[in-house]
Amino acid sequence: MISLHTSPLDQPGTGDAGGMNVYVVELAKRLAARGIAVDIFTRATSSRLAPVVPAFDGVTVHHVHAGPFEGLTKGELPGQLCVFAREVLRAEAAQPEGHYDVVHSHYWLSGQVGALARDRWGVPLVHTMHTMAKVKNDALAVGDTPEPLARIIGEEQVVEAADVLVANTDLEAKQLINLYDADPTRVRVVHPGVDLDVFRPHPVAEARHSVGLPEDALVVLFAGRIQPLKAPDVLLRAVAVLLERRPDLRARLVVPVVGGPSGTGLEHPESLAQLAAELGLDDVVRFVPPVEQVELARWCAAADLVAVPSYNESFGLVAVEAQATGTPVLAAAVGGLTTVVRDGHSGLLLDTHEPDDWAHAIERLLVDEPLRARLSRGALEQARSFAWETTAEHTLDVYEQARRELLRAVS
């Protein structure tokens, strides 16, 4: 596997680490559990990192030196592709011939390297986009920066080069075909999963005690990277509208924001805290640094609802993770969230980002306990249809089919 721009060992929720990191780690672990050795190549971001790290049973992370360790933005990484590719090819050259059977690249930068490795090694290239520039640019948050043309061209090249494109959802598959002219016969849909051993129901009082929340609080949780794309500002503005309409809720309402600045959010890391102060929400909003998956599960279980107001999500892992704890999700009806959340069954979907509409939906979920209880049951049911073991099984089928087709093509 190639995950150039972010290490699978990085803490999700800050910097460039997010759902893709979870995806790479969990898929690799499940493949390794099936007896498949997985090497993950990523760019080293510190001189203190060992070149090779046995991360999990059967999973090895290779830290490739390509460019300065620190201070290199994602937009500057294309300049390091040649160096990174050279080091990946050199690492393979030290192995017996035919050491790798498949290259699976994640994000377009990795796909550029994967295409070269595929040609040199004579193995299929499986690629997962995770996010796409054309999709992001069609749904930009106010004030966000459009993805550059260089990325769009790079993505088009990877789509053309890949033997198989793995899409998270049917919608993403259609976007690959319609926006990038992908060959429909080379697109496969494989849903990401959730660790149902980690993300599971907890007694609410116990979960709240563990994360320091009052037992009788009304808790609306945001978890994810703090950047315009994820729209945490929409949630804060909605909470301000709600409290203006229902000041009686202020004494009990708590809005934890779990995560750190990322992407264009790094340009103004304090902007969300400043917005909270401007809206008079300092007594309601709690900013929590990124946490490990086990603790994130407790935060989800402690919440009355988890808000996912993103302008776009290729899948939306936090939504399925929240549902696995039995917590309903209030999400924007965009991208993969329309697959993850069943409207009216495991949560509510909104086709708007207007704070008034979000305030109304939050109020409805907080005050209507029978509705919340019904959605909680539906959330558990919905989450059970997503599991990393199933993701690994279907991904392995993709690998095997890609190998068979390559062998047939060269025979």
Binding residues for UDP-N-acetyl-alpha-D-glucosamine: 11-12, 19, 225, 230, 291, 313, 321
Q: Is the separation of the CB atoms in 340 and 315 below 8 Å?
A: yes
Instruction: Note the residue count of the chain.
Output: 411
Burial class (CB in 10 A: 0-12, 13-18, 19+), 119: exposed
Q: Where are the alpha helices (DSSP H) in 122-203?
A: 133-138, 149-161, 170-180
Nearest to 326 by CA among 348, 304, 341, 343: 304
DSSP 146: P
Rounded CA gap, 320 and 56, in Å?
24
> Binding site: which residues?
5, 11-12, 16-21, 74, 107, 131, 151, 225, 230, 291, 303, 313, 321, 327
Rounded to a whole number, what is the distance in angstroms from the first to the last CA of the chain? 26
> Binding site for Mg(2+): which residues?
303, 327
> Binding site for 1D-myo-inositol 3-phosphate: which residues?
5, 16-21, 74, 107, 131, 151
Q: Where are the beta strands (DSSP E) in 246-325?
A: 253-258, 285-288, 305-308
Rounded CA gap, 391 and 31, in Å?
10
Rounded CA gap, 401 and 407, in Å?
10
Rounded CA gap, 113 and 107, in Å?
11
CA atoms within 13 A on the CB side of 371: 15
- Token digits of residue 33: 């559990």
Collapsed DSSP state (helix, strand, coil) of residue 117:
helix
To 5 degrees, how large is the angle CA 159–CA 163–CA 166?
70
